[in-house]
Structure 1
C-alpha cells in the first residue's frame, strides 16, 4: 500500500482497542497489563515464550537491514480511524484520534529489538520526582517552577545497543615509588620533599564485560541519556509491541558498527584502570595498552525515558526522567537576581570576617 500523496509506502500500525468501552488501552507503568484510561478495563500481557538473545557480532553482516541513511519517514495508517501519520518513530499516537500506533518491527527495515525495559514510573511518580528536582534548583527563577509539570512529559522508549565481550590486554607503563629527601634552605630551615622513582613495567589483565550500553539514538543529548543510568537491565522483558502501546519509540540512527566502536572506547577506559591497579606502587603511568576483544555479542534494547520540553524566557528547555527509577537529568534557567544576591551576601560576610580579624 502506498501513500497517494507522497508515493511513500504506508504501513498499517497495530492499535489496541479497549474490550470494555471500545476506546483504547495503553500500557500501565509498573504492571504487566494494558489499561483503558477511560473505563479502567485491563488486559494482561501474556508471555511470548521468547528469550532475550545475545547476537554474535559475526552474524551482523547477515542480518536483513537497511542503512540508517537510506531510511525515509514511515507513513502509519491508524486501524481505528484510517488516518495517516508520517513519522520517524516506531510507536506513537494517532494525531487525529489519539489511538496508540505501534509499527511492526519487521516493517522498519532495521534490526529487531531483543528486549524492552517497561515503564515503571507513572505520572504520579513523575510529579513527585519533578517536584523534588525543581525545588532543589536554588538558583532557578521562582516562576520556573510553574512551567514544569508532569502533564507536559512524553513517555519515550529510546533504543540502546548493549555489547558483551571478553578482553585480554597487554600493557606497558611505569610504576612510581615515593621516597623523601631532606632539603635545607638559605636560612638553615629544613623540610622533607617527596620524590618518585619510576620503574618500567609490563603486564597483562583480562576482564569480561556484560551489557555495555551505548545510546543508539542521537535525538536526545547523549550525555544526559548516559547520566540517567544505571538501568536495571535484568528486569527487561523480551520485546512485545504491547509494552509500547500509548508511548513513543525512537528508531535507532546509530549503526551497530559505530555503537561497537563507542562500546570499545568505554571498555578501554575501564581496562586502563585495571592496568593501573595491576601496576601497583604509589603512582602509575599507562603508556600503551593492546586489547584483544573476543566473543563479542550485541542486542538492541528499548529503555524508558519521560521527556519534558518546556518554554521559558523564549528558549526551549528539556528534562529527561528515567522511567524506572525517577532519576532526572536536564537543563534549567538561572536567576541573575538570586545569583547577584548570593554574591552580595558572600561579600558582606567576607567583609564582616575581615573587620573581626582586623580588631584582634
Structure 2
C-alpha cells in the first residue's frame, strides 16, 4: 500500500556529544540533546507525503503495519492506547496508571506527521493566558501550566480526498406578488403587497473535489475538542519519520479507515446539498434526493501534535488540549463556588450602594426651609 518503511520497534536516539537521549526540538527540523545541546538534523531524502488509493485498502490481504514506539501502554480506566518507549506512566487523558498491553497488534504506518511547533515553555505560556482569562475558575487551575503530567502527544487523523459527482432532484421556488385589500382596525380599507411562490421541478448534477477531509482516528479524546483545535496547517506536514516522535508519545488509532470514510461522507453531505441549492437557483430551493458517487478516493494516516494536560479537582478529572502547532487552547474547567458567591455579594453590595445613594439624593433634594414672614405695616 505504501513504500513507507515500517519503523523499528524502538526509537531512542543517542546524543553524538554526551550519549544521552536526544529529543525532537519543536520549531526545528532536528533532534536536540536536552543536556549538551548537540543537534542532529532530520532528513527525509526524496520521500514525499503520498495519498493512498482507498480501493487498494480493500484488496490487500493484510495491512502493512508498523510500531511507533517500543511499547503499547493501555489505560485501565479509559482504555486509551499509547505507543511510547516508556514501560510505565500515567494516562494523559484521565490521569490513571498505564500498563503494557501485550495483545496490541500492528497498525497502518503513518504517511505524514505535522511536527510540534510549540515547545514546553511556549505551551505553558499558552496555558497561562487561557487559565488567567477564566475568572470564575478555582485558583488550582492556575497551577495546570506547571503540571509535569502535561504531555506532548501525536494524535492520529485520517485525511480523505474525493472527487464527487452528485445527481439531485428537487424544486425551484420563484416569488411573485399580488395586491390584496383588507380592512384595518379603524374600519378603513387598505391594500398590501403579498408574496407567493410558484414551485417548479428541478434536477441536475453537481461536482466537487474534496481535499484532505480531516477525521480523528481516535476516540480517546472528545471529538468536539479536537474539532475546536482546527485549523491545522496540513500543508506543512512532513513525510513520516520516527525521529519526529523522539521524546513524545503517539496515540494509536482505534477508528479504521473504512469507518473514517463513512464519517467523512457524513461531514461533506451538507456541503453537497448546498451546492445543489446553488445549482437549482431561484428564490427558494427544495432538495429532495441526492445520490453521490465518490471517485478516485484516496486517504492517508497523519499524526497531529497536541499538548494534553489533565488535572484533578473535587474528585473529577479535567482535561485541556493545546494545539501543538498554533497554540489554540480548548478544554474543561471547573467553577469556583467561592468566587461566584463573592462576585454575587459584590454585585449586591454595588446595587445596595446605588439604592442608598438614590434615596439620600432624593431626601436632600426635597428638604425645604420655613419662609421669612412679611414685615408689618
TM-score range, shorter chain: 0.7 to 0.9
Give the whole-Å Cα distance in 2 for the aligned partners of 1:278 and 1:348. Answer: 57
How many residue pairs are counted as aligned between the two chains?
324
Cα deviation for residue 58 of structure 1 reads 1.0
Name 1:332's counterpart in structure 2. Answer: 333
Q: Is the counterpart of residue 137 in structure 1 residue 158 in structure 2?
A: no
How far residue 160 of structure 1 moved from its aligned partner, in angstroms, is 0.7
Q: Distance in 1 between matches of 2:262 and 2:333?
A: 32
CA contact (8 A) 1:127 1:150 kept: no
- TM-score computed with the length of structure 1 as normaliser: 0.79
Equivalent runs, 1:229-248 vs 2, <5 Å: 229-248=230-249
Moved more, 147-156 or 294-303: 147-156
Q: 1:176 to 1:244 in 2, by over 3 A?
A: same
Measured on the aligned residues, the alpha-carbon RMSD in Å equals 3.5
1:53-68, aligned counterparts within 5 Å?
53-63=50-60, 65=62
Match of 2:5 in 1: none
Separation of aligned partners in 2, 1:296 and 1:270: 17
Larger radius of gyration: 2
Counterpart-to-counterpart distance in 2, 1:184 and 1:201? 39
Q: Give the SS at the match of 2:270.
A: helix
**Matched residue SS, 1:217:** coil
Structure-to-structure mapping, 1:1-360, within 5 angstroms? 12-63=9-60, 65=62, 76=70, 86-87=73-74, 88-95=81-88, 109-149=106-146, 151-178=148-175, 184-188=183-187, 195-199=195-199, 200-339=201-340, 341=343, 345=347, 348=351
TM-score where L is the length of structure 2: 0.76
1:197/1:149 CA distance change after superposition, 3 Å: farther
Give the CA deviation at 1:225. Answer: 0.8
- 1:334 to partner: Cα distance: 2.0
CA distance 1:21–1:299, change in 2 (3 Å): same
State the shift of 1:29 in Å: 0.3
Structure 1: runs of 5+ lacking an equivalent:
1-10, 78-84, 97-106
How many angstroms does 1:220 deviate by?
0.9
CA distance in 1 between partners of 2:152 and 2:19 (Å): 23
Which stretch shifts more, 167-176 or 202-211? 167-176
CA distance in 2, matches of 1:146, 1:14: 32
